[in-house]
Amino acid sequence: MSRAPGPSRRSVQEAQMTHPNTESTAFRSALEVVRGVEPRVADAIGAELRDQRESLKLIASENYASPAVLLAMGNWLSDKYAEGTVGHRFYAGCRNVDTVEALAAEHARELFGARHAYVQPHSGIDANLVAFWSILAARVEAPALQRAGARQVNDLTEADWEELRRAFGNQRLLGMSLDAGGHLTHGFRPNISGKMFEQRSYGTDPETGLLDYDAVRATAREFRPLVIIAGYSAYPRLINFRLMREIADEVDATLMVDMAHFAGLVAGKVLTGDFDPVPHAQIVTTTTHKSLRGPRGGMVLCDDSLADQVDRGCPMVLGGPLPHVMAAKAVALAEARQPAFRDYAQRVVDNARALAEGLTRRGARLVTGGTDNHLVLLDVSGYGLTGRQAEAALLDAGIVTNRNAVPRDPNGAWYTSGVRLGTPALTTRGLGTAEMDEVAALIDGVLTRTAPGTTKSGKPSKASYVVAEGVAKQTADRAAELLAGHPLYPGLDLA
């Protein structure tokens, strides 16, 4: 595979801020233009940068995009309609859109070793919808066309369409349950994925919290799904995708992997062999932000068997592509092909392990007892708190996290019993394992000195909380000291 052009090795901070004076001028000028129309929007943008600079960001699904990625989104490509694919548009004048989309797809194929890449999805959910309908089109639509003697969908009669609609609505999906670490789009009933398919979930072992592949196999044999989804948003261990493909093949299912959370670890070659989904799954979806550190958006990778269907994502389920975001995806994927990104990805995992070890040493209870990837799932019931109380108390202290269900959570998906922690963003800022241990101490210090509040009737509350006096400010001050040594976008000055 060819490598992206550029210097052989750059630090994370250098990758973020290549030309600080030029970038400061660019962002200051942009905000001045915005301020001339709606100053409150300009103020909010500036305030967001200040907030992100001043807080310990531990949300596992968030990161910091480089100035180059951010700037690639604010341009005239935003004004162009470009339904279709490269070279096959339904609108004229798309040659520049073709250029950026082709570059983004090329970088994606080279970065992940994929046969085909589709970079139009606006989000991870959109990418999953494209994958679902591509699988259905390949597995259900094609036989229907053959039975009808039709060459394309437009040739089907109304009776053919009725048969096709029944077939589309009679398929089965097997995915990881939400409380075990799966995602809403993996068959959760209120989500469209749970409405499109007859759905069943697989969970984790009650004792270890780990995936039980024998149990997944048994469920697949009994349920006989058309699609098996692997991937997670809150599972702190690795998945053996070779075994998942064996299970899928055994029941003639298509293996779909949602790697939105750990795509950066795949791109950075931290996850290889059985733990790299791309060689094993017929179709892989991802977001382009999170650990991949790009713009908010989605992407689909697939083998040759699904490429034609995937490229019909627009108009199948997507609206017009967002050319300015595809340009930013191309920039981010080019950044991820640099050698420095591999170092970054490895340090994300090293930092997550250090954070887990620091919490465990202080008596915290972690789901599965630790981590092998970028996230840590902290069971806060040991502190006598709900996830909602813990999340809010930590935010008061300058530590940004998100509450998350734990397996078989007694508090449900709203209040939860867990807090999810992730290291991609702080690793981008340059924090290392020593700082992660101190972050663990700060988290534990807040939670041990937080107590549940009470309702108006005097009963224990699942939402309100009381932090011991002075703890929030003391923690926020120490967090600010930690962050001062690792400035966000060093040299970028909006003043």
Picking from 71, 7, 16, 6, the residue whose alpha carbon sits closest to that of residue 328 is: 71
Q: Which of 83, 106, 160, 437 is catalytic?
A: 83
- CA–CA distance, 187 with 200 (Å, rounded to integer): 7
Beta bridge partners of 299: 286
Q: Which of 101, 126, 179, 258 is catalytic?
A: 258
Q: How far apart are the first and last CA of the chain?
A: 44
**258 catalytically annotated:** yes
**64 catalytically annotated:** no
Residue 179 burial (10 A CB sphere; 0-12, 13-18, 19+): buried
Q: Which helix (H) or strand (E) holds 456?
A: none
The dihedral built from the CA positions of residue 233, 60, 386 and 464, taken in this order, carries a sign that is negative
**Backbone phi, then psi, for 419, in 5-degree steps?**
-130, 130
**290 catalytically annotated:** yes
Cα separation values, 159 from 141, 145, 149, 153, 168, Å? 14, 12, 13, 13, 14
**Backbone phi, then psi, for 256, in 5-degree steps?**
-115, 130
- CA–CA distance, 385 with 279 (Å, rounded to integer): 42
Tokens linked to 453: 């509040």
Tokens linked to 332: 């981010």
- Residues of 453-481 as b/e, b for ≥16 C-beta within 10 angstroms? eeeeeeeebbeebebeeebbebbbebbee
Tokens linked to 51: 């907030």
**For residue 10, what are the contacts with CB-CB under 8 A and spacing of at least 6?**
338, 340
Q: Which of 57, 217, 245, 290 is catalytic?
A: 290
Tokens linked to 115: 């046969």
**155 catalytically annotated:** no
Q: Which of 53, 115, 200, 296 is catalytic?
A: 296
DSSP characters for 301-333?
Answer: EE-GGGHHHHTTHHHHT--S--HHHHHHHHHHH
Under a CB-based contact definition with an 8 Å cutoff, are residues 409 and 418 in contact?
yes
**287 catalytically annotated:** yes
Compute and round to an integer the Cα radius of gyration of the chain.
23
Cα separation values, 238 from 64, 298, 377, Å? 24, 22, 14
Q: Which of 10, 35, 62, 81 is catalytic?
A: 81
Beta bridge partners of 426: none
- CA–CA distance, 419 with 401 (Å, rounded to integer): 7
Residue 50 burial (10 A CB sphere; 0-12, 13-18, 19+): exposed
Q: Which of 185, 219, 287, 423 is catalytic?
A: 287
Q: Cite the active site residues.
A: 81, 83, 258, 287, 290, 296
